Structure 1
Amino acid sequence: MNIYGFDHIVLCVRDVNATLEFYQHVLGMTAREERPGKWSLHFGSSKISLQDALTAPRLAEKTVPGSGNFCLVTDTPVEDVAERLRAHDVTIVEGPAEKLGAVGKLMSVYFRDPDENLVEVSNRLI
């Protein structure tokens, strides 16, 4: 078996519309309704599927809003990301700071989405 990457992650959210608004306007992702009432956010070749905490049946039984913690990689300088976050009144939890990622060093900024998931946006340092 050769596993080579992620296709998508799933976030359990309290308010799908607030989550769509945040990720579209703050991070520039594209929202898609995959089927009636089932939404996802697309970027590059990946997506974040949204699971409504109040109404959606759960295959993953113990998921709860705010339990997500993930890293997104961008070619936009992290300082510019931090400026964009501040412009949208998003509180920076940490960074920009150097971290270690899957393939090497990262320059990262951390913040929380509307459900308090910890989001890291990073540049790969070569």
Structure 2
Amino acid sequence: MIDHLDHLVLTTRHEAACVRFYVQVLGMRLETFGEGRKAFVFGAQKINLHLAGREFEPKAQHPTPGALDLCLIASLPLEQVQAHLAQHGVEIECGPVLRTGAQGAIRSVYVRDPDLNLIEISEYLPQA
């Protein structure tokens, strides 16, 4: 019945810092739509941005900054991702570690965004 994820919603208390992180650090494209709403676009999906206390309706029952735990697949080798994060002063909290993604084995590093959401950045390992 379900084919793929189109978008998800991230709630932030720190709009400017959040935009900088997702656009400058993670390389997503900022899109403005509707009545000035913002989204981070990458691949064939996007992350809609809601400001805490000014969420768009309908919304989650308890929209909370810092409650997201998200895994993103990198378009670059993980070593290049780590170097890029270091250039932007982003501390790697954990990794690289081996995990299991939706399509097989992955190698991941974990960082925090400005709202302290856990962001896992991964690469798929070659199939044996």
> Which TM-score band applies after superposition, normalised by the shorter structure?
over 0.9
CA RMSD of aligned residues (A): 1.2
Q: Deviations over 1:21-73 (max 9, x none)?
A: 11111011000111233100000101000111032245212010000001111
Aligned to 1:117: 117
C-alpha distance in 1 between matches for 2:61 and 2:33: 22
Q: Deviations over 1:67-109 (max 9, x none)?
A: 0001111230111111111111111011111111111100111
Aligned to 2:10: 11
C-alpha distance in 1 between matches for 2:38 and 2:72: 19
Aligned to 2:27: 28
C-alpha distance in 2 between matches for 1:27 and 1:81: 9
Residue correspondences, number: 125
Q: How does 1:34-73 map to 2 (within 5 A)?
A: 34-58=33-57, 59-73=59-73
C-alpha distance in 1 between matches for 2:43 and 2:16: 22
User: 5+ unaligned residues in a row in structure 1: which ranges?
Assistant: none
Q: How far off its partner does 1:17 sit?
A: 1.9
Aligned to 2:74: 74
Relative to the length of structure 2, the TM-score reads 0.92
**Identical counterparts, % of pairs:** 40
Relative to the length of structure 1, the TM-score reads 0.93
C-alpha distance in 1 between matches for 2:16 and 2:61: 22
Give the secondary structure class of the aligned counterpart of 1:42: strand
Q: 2:98·2:106 contact (CA, 8 Å) conserved in 1?
A: yes
Give the secondary structure class of the aligned counterpart of 2:107: strand
